[in-house]
Structure 1
Amino acid sequence: MKIKLFITICAVAFGLSAQAKDYKYETVPGDMMKTRIYTLDNGLKVYLSVNAEKPRIQTYIAVRTGSKNDPAETTGLAHYLEHLMFKGTKQFGTNNAAAEAPLLAEIEQRYEAYRKLTDPQARKQAYHEIDSVSQLAAKYFIPNEYDKLMAAIGADGTNAYTSNDVTCYTEDIPSNEIENWAKIQADRFQNMVIRGFHTELEAVYEEYNISLTKDSRKLFAAISKMLYPNHPYGLQTTLGSQEHLKNPSITNIKNYFNKWYRPNNVAICMAGDFDPDKTIAIIDKYFSGWKPGADVRQPVFPALPALTQPKDTTVVGPEAEQIWIGWRAKKANELQADTLQLMEDVLSNGRAGLFDLNLNQTMKVQRASAGSQLMHDHGGFILFGTPKQGQSLDEVKNLMFAQIDKLKKGEFPDNLLPSIVNNKKRNYYQRLEYNEARADMFVDAFIDEIDWKDEVNYLDRISKITKQQLVDFANRFFTDGYVTIYKRQGVDSTQKKIDKPAITPIPANRDQMSQFVKDIQNSQVEPIHPKFVDFKKDMATLKTKKQLPLYYIKNQDNGLFELVFYYDFGKSADNRYDIASDYIDYLGTDKLSAAELKQKFYELACDWNVSVSGETMSVSLYGLSENMSQALALMENLIQNAKVDKEAYDNMVNLILKRRGDSKKRQESVFNALYNYGTYGPRNAMRDVMSEQQLKETNPEVFIDLLKGLNGLKHRVAYYGPMSEKEIVSVIDKNHKTTKKLADVPQNKPYLREIANKNEVMIAPYDAKNIYMRQYHNEGRSWNPEEAAVLDVFNEYFGGGMNGIVFQEMREARGLAYNAYARYYIPANKDRKESFMTHIITQNDKMVDCVNHFHEILNEMPASETAFQIAKDAVTKRLASERTTKSSIFYSYLTSERLGLDISTNELVYKNLDKVQLKDIVKFEKETMANKPCRYIILGDEKQLDMKFLENLGPIKRLTVEEVFGY
Structure 2
Amino acid sequence: MKHLKLVLALAMITFVASCKKSNSDQLAVKTETQKDANGFSYESVTNDPTGLRLYTLDNGLQVYLSKNTEEPKIQTYIAVRAGSNYDPKESTGLAHYLEHMVFKGTDKVGTVDWETEKKYLDTISNLYEKHRATRDGGEKLEIYKEIDRVSLEASNYSVANEYDKMSSSLGATGTNAYTWFEQTVYTNKIPANELDKFLALESERFSQVVLRLFHTELEAVFEEFNRGQDSDGRKRYAAMLEGLFPKHPYGQQTTIGTAEHLKNPSMVDIHNYFDKYYVPNNMAVVLVGDFDFEATIKKVNTTFGKFERKEVAHPVLPTEEPLTTIVENEVFGPTAESLSIAFRTSGVNTEQEKFVTLADMILANGSAGLLDLNLNQKQLVQYAGCSTTFLNDYGYHSFSGSPKEGQSLEDLKGLILEQIEKLKKGEFEDWMIDAVVNDLKKSQLSQYENSTAVADAYVNAFIHDEKWEDKVKFIDDLKKITKQELVDFANSFYKDNYVVTYKRKGADDKIVKVSNPGITPVNLNRGANSKYIEEFNKMESEALKPVYVDYASAIKETKTESGIKVSYIENETNDLFDMNIIFDMGSDNDKKLDLAVGYLEYLGTEKYSNEDLKKEFYKLGVDYYVNTGNEKTYIGLSGLKENLPKGLELLEELLDNAVPNQEAYNKYVQSIAKGRQNNKTNKGSILRRGLLNYAKYGENSSLRNIISVSDLEKVNPQELVDLTKDLKNYKQRMFYYGKDVDNAVSALNTSHKVSTDLKDYPEAMTFEEKETGGNVFFVDFDMVQSEMMFLAKGEPFKAENMAASTLFNTYFGGGLSSIVFQEIRESKSLAYSAWSNYSTAREKDESNYVMAYIGTQANKMPQAVDAMMELMNDMPESEAQFNAAKESTLKKIAAQRINKSSIFWSYERLQKLGMSEDNREAMYNAIKDMTLADLREFFNSNIKGEDYNVMVIGNKKDVDLTALNKLGKVQEMDIDHIFNYEKSEDVKM
The 8 Å contact of residues 506 and 813 in structure 1, kept in 2 or not, is answered as: yes
State the Cα distance separating 1:783 from its structure 2 match.
2.0
Deviation at 1:543, TM superposition (A): 2.1
State the secondary structure of the residue aligned to 1:15: strand
Counterpart of 1:139 in 2: which secondary structure? helix
Aligned-partner Cα distance in 1 for 2:893–2:675: 40
Q: Deviations over 1:206-231 (max 9, x none)?
A: 11111112111111111111111111
CA distance in 1, matches of 2:88, 2:892: 40
Q: SS at the partner of 2:416?
A: helix
Matched-pair contact (CA < 8 Å) for 1:148–1:517: no
Q: Spell out the pairing of 1:34-53 with structure 2 (5 A cutoff).
A: 34-53=51-70
Deviation at 1:637, TM superposition (A): 1.2
SS class of match (1:171): strand
User: Conserved in 2, the CA contact under 8 Å of 1:229 and 1:235?
Assistant: yes
How many residues of Structure 1 are paired with residues of Structure 2 in the alignment? 961
Query: What's the counterpart of residue 882 of structure 2?
Result: 868
2:704 and 2:978 in contact (8 A); partners too: yes
The answer to which of 872-881 and 676-685 deviates more is 676-685
User: Does the 8 A contact of 2:589 with 2:761 survive in 1?
Assistant: no
User: What is the CA deviation profile of residues 126-165 of structure 1, one whole-angstrom value per residue up to 9, with x for unaligned ones?
Assistant: 1111000001110111111111111111111111111111
Using the TM superposition, give the Cα deviation of residue 715 of structure 1 relative to its aligned residue in structure 2, in angstroms: 1.5
SS of alignment partner, residue 772 of structure 1: strand
Counterpart of 1:146 in structure 2 is 163
Partner residue of 1:480?
Answer: 496
In 1, Cα distance between the equivalents of 2:932 and 2:158? 24
Distance 2:766 2:536 in 1: 48
How much does 1:257 deviate?
A: 0.8
Provide the rounded CA distance (Å) in 2 between the counterparts of 1:484 and 1:86: 39
Matching residue of 2:524: 508
Matched, 1:490 2:506: yes
Partner residue, 2:931: 917
Q: Which of the numbers 176, 186, 190 marks the counterpart of 1:169?
A: 186
Q: Distance in 2 between matches of 1:888 and 1:521?
A: 34
Equivalent runs, 1:20-99 vs 2, <5 Å: 22-99=39-116
For the pair 1:897 / 2:911, whether they are aligned, the reply is yes
Listed one character per residue, the Cα deviations across residues 459-508 of structure 1 (whole Å, up to 9, x for unaligned) are 11001111011001101101222221111111111112222111011122
Whole-Å separation in 1 of the counterparts to 2:450 and 2:697: 35
**How far apart, in 2, do the equivalents of 1:329 and 1:524 lie?**
51
The one-letter code of the counterpart of 1:182 is L
Tell me if 1:768 matches 2:783.
Answer: yes
Over residues 283-324 of structure 1, what are the superposed CA-to-partner deviations in whole Å (9 max), with x where a residue is unaligned?
A: 00000111122124x322232122112221211111111121
For the 8 Å contact 2:14–2:457, the answer to whether it is kept is no
Asked if the contact 1:614–1:751 (Cα under 8 Å) also holds between the matched residues in 2, the reply is no
Deviation (angstroms), 1:368: 1.1
Please state how far the C-alpha of 1:544 moved relative to its aligned partner. 2.0
Q: AA paired with 2:404?
A: K
- Does structure 1 conserve the Cα–Cα contact (< 8 Å) formed by 2:786 and 2:954? yes
- 1:744-794 alpha-carbon deviations (Å, 9 max, x no partner): 1222224443221x3221111112111110111114x12221222111100
Identity among equivalent positions (%) equals 39
Q: Which moved more, 1:518-527 or 1:594-603?
A: 518-527
1:389-430: CA deviation from partner (whole Å, max 9, x where unpaired):
111111111111111111111110111111101110011111
What's the CA shift string for 1:46-73, capped at 9, x where partnerless? 1111011110111111111111111111
Structure 2 distance, partners of 1:31, 1:492, is 50
Secondary structure of the residue aligned to 1:916 is coil
> Mind listing any 5+ residue stretches in structure 2 that lack a counterpart?
1-8, 982-989
SS in 2 for 1:615: coil
Q: Which deviations, in whole Å up to 9, do the C-alpha atoms of 1:691-749 show, x marking residues without a partner?
A: 101211111122222221221111210111011x4333222222211122111122222
List aligned pairs for 1:682-831, cutoff 5 A.
682-723=699-740, 725-756=741-772, 758-779=773-794, 781-831=795-845
1:113 and 2:130 are equivalent in the alignment: yes
Equivalents in 2 of 1:591, 1:222: separation in Å? 47
**Correspondences of 1:381-460 after superposition (within 5 Å):** 381-460=397-476
The aligned counterpart of 1:845 is 859
Structure 2 match to 1:617: 633
Q: Is the 8 A contact 2:797 2:843 kept in 1?
A: no
Contact 2:179 2:185 (8 Å CA) reproduced? yes
1:355 to 2:371 alignment? yes
Distance in 2, Cα, partners of 1:302 & 1:934: 55
Distance across 2 between alignment mates of 1:907 and 1:751: 33
Higher mean displacement: 675-684 or 334-343: 675-684
SS in 1 for 2:601: helix
Q: Matched residues in 2 for 1:393 and 1:121: separation?
A: 47
* Contact preservation (8 Å) 1:553, 1:886: yes
Structure 2 distance, partners of 1:807, 1:750, is 37
Report what 1:573 is aligned to.
Answer: 589
Which of residues 312, 316, 319 is equivalent to 2:335?
A: 319
User: Tell me, what secondary structure is at the counterpart of 1:509?
Assistant: coil
1:188 corresponds to which of 205, 211, 223 = 205
Distance 1:292 1:538, change over 3 A: same
> Which one of the candidate residues 251, 257, 267 is aligned to 1:250?
267
Q: State the partner residue of 2:868.
A: 854
User: Are 1:463 and 2:479 counterparts?
Assistant: yes
CA contact (8 A) 1:152 1:520 kept: no
Distance 1:627 1:553 in 2: 19
Measure, in 2, the Cα distance between the counterparts of 1:30 and 1:255: 43
Equivalent-residue separation in structure 2 for 1:808 and 1:614 (angstroms): 38
TM-score (norm: length of structure 2): 0.96
Distance 1:783 1:530 in 2: 25
Alpha-carbon distance in 2 for matches of 1:870, 1:520: 12
- Whether the aligned pair in 1 keeps the contact of 2:156 and 2:523 (CA below 8 Å) is yes
Task: Using the TM superposition, give the Cα deviation of residue 823 of structure 1 relative to its aligned residue in structure 2, in angstroms.
Answer: 0.8
Give the Å deviation of 1:260: 1.0
1:570 and 1:373 map into 2 onto residues whose CA distance is 39
| Contact 1:789/1:916 (8 A) holds in 2 | no
1:958 correspondence with 2:972: yes
Distance 2:416 2:792 in 1: 49
Aligned to 2:665, which of 635, 641, 649?
649
Structure 1: runs of 5+ lacking an equivalent = none
Contact 1:143-1:509 at 8 Å conserved across structures: yes
Give the aligned residue type for 1:420: V
Match of 2:5 in 1: none
The alpha carbon displacement at 1:4 in A equals: 2.7
- Correspondence 1:155 to 2:198: no
| Residues 1:373 and 2:373 are matched in the alignment | no
Deviation per CA, 1:872-899: give whole Å up to 9, x if none: 1111001101101111011111111111
Contact preservation (8 Å) 2:35, 2:42? yes
Separation (CA, whole Å) in 1 of partners of 2:491 and 2:289: 44
- Per the TM alignment, residue 269 of structure 1 is displaced from its structure 2 partner at its CA by 1.3
Which amino acid in 1 is paired with 2:322? A
- Are 1:213 and 1:667, in contact at CA under 8 Å, matched by a contact in 2? no
Deviations for 1:200-251, whole angstroms, at most 9, x for unmatched residues?
Answer: 1111111111111211111111111111111101111111111111111111
Q: d(CA) in 1 for partners of 2:51 and 2:873?
A: 54
Please say if residues 152 and 520 of structure 2, whose CA atoms lie closer than 8 Å, have aligned partners that are also in contact: yes
**Post-superposition, which runs of at least 4 consecutive aligned residues in structure 1 deviate over 6 A?**
none
**Residues 410-460 of structure 1: per-residue CA shift (max 9 Å, x gap):** 110111111101110011111111110000000111111111000000111
| Structure 2 residue aligned with 1:667 | 683
Equivalent residue for 1:601? 617
Change in CA separation of 1:435 and 1:301 when aligned onto 2, cut-off 3 Å: same
CA displacement at 1:618 relative to structure 2: 1.2
Measure, in 1, the Cα distance between the counterparts of 2:730 and 2:791. Answer: 38
2:6 corresponds to: none
- Out of 898-907 and 96-105, give the one that drifted further: 898-907
Pairwise mapping of residues 584-595 of structure 1 onto structure 2 (< 5 A)? 584-595=600-611
User: How far 1:85 moved relative to its partner?
Assistant: 1.0
What is the rounded CA distance, in whole Å, between the counterparts of 1:551 and 1:236 in structure 2? 54
